[in-house]
Chain A
């Protein structure tokens, strides 16, 4: 298995909802990442999981909450989002814990916040 999977593919939610995005890889990779990508822009790093701990981009609002149940799963919990949070959310993984090699990306979850 040489891919990163993400579910759901599409998600529409209201500002008061709580939802979760799921990311999974079975390549034995030791680091995983969440990115946010707005239209016509490059991806922006939100979180990194490596060395069995989460590193957080301090500019990411607390309404985004990552969780890593095990080394192959990375969830992103969403609560009280704003319309400007609508974007494509990409998950990626890399073999090296130090992040020195290439990252493999999932297909993304298209999130719309109403």
Chain B
């Protein structure tokens, strides 16, 4: 079975400082992992995905994530936060054992960016 845990429900950073959003996963298979971002009252936008290629994955808007099998982690980082990064972030794992097309979402991490 697959699952994903986002370790922080809320992260607050100052503009220009690094961002770290933590995600741990559990998977019986080689996992497919995603990070999505959702701005208020908007749909979800794919930031990046890991599908067993390079362990360091680069995404849009300067975000990247590193897949660490030994730590079962897939943390999202950005060197310098921008005000426009304030949003809800979801770590997601593909559910191979469940109904077709099922994504398992973490509970989300709200990122606040202070000026």
Cβ proximity bits B19-34 to A, threshold 8 Å, 1 near / 0 not:
0000000000000101
The answer, among A42, A55, A94, A100, for a CB contact under 8 Å with B105, is A42
The chain B residue sitting closest to A107, CB to CB, is B43
CB neighbors of B among A49-74 (8 A): 50, 55, 57
Distance, CA A76 to CA B40, complexed state (A): 23
Cβ of A45 and Cβ of B102 under 8 Å apart? yes
Task: Tell me which residues across on chain A come within 8 A of B90, comparing CB atoms.
Answer: 42
Per-residue 0/1 for A80-114: is the Cβ within 8 Å of any B Cβ (1 yes, 0 no)? 00000000101010100011101111111010000
Of residues A88, A102, A110, which shows the largest number of chain B Cβ atoms within 10 Å of its Cβ?
A102
Interface string of B51-82 (1 = CB under 8 A from A): 00000000000000000000000000000000
The A/B interface has a contact count, at CB < 8 Å, of 60
Give bound CA distance, A106 to B46, whole Å: 11
A102 CA / B93 CA spacing, docked (Å)? 10
How far, in angstroms, from A103 to B100 measured CA to CA in the complex? 12
Measured CB to CB, the closest approach of chain A to B110, in angstroms, equals: 8
Q: For residue B94, which residues in chain A have a CB less than 8 angstroms away from its CB?
A: 99-100
**Distance in angstroms between the alpha carbons of A15 and B103 in the assembled complex:** 31
Q: How far is the CA of A102 from the CA of B34 in the complex (A)?
A: 8
A42 touching B102, Cβ below 8 Å: no
- Residue numbers of A with Cβ under 8 A of B are 4, 6, 31, 33, 40-43, 45, 48, 50, 55, 57, 88, 90, 92, 94, 98-100, 102-108, 110
Question: Is B17 located at the chain interface by the 8 A CB criterion?
Answer: no
Q: Are A45 and B44 in contact (CB under 8 A)?
A: no
Return the contact of A43 from the options B34, B41, B99, B105 (Cβ within 8 A): B105
- Given the interface pairs A45-B102, A48-B101, A57-B99, the reply to whether A105 lies near B43 with Cβ below 8 Å is yes
Q: A106-B43, A108-B42, A108-B43 are in contact. Are A99 and B107 (CB under 8 A)?
A: no
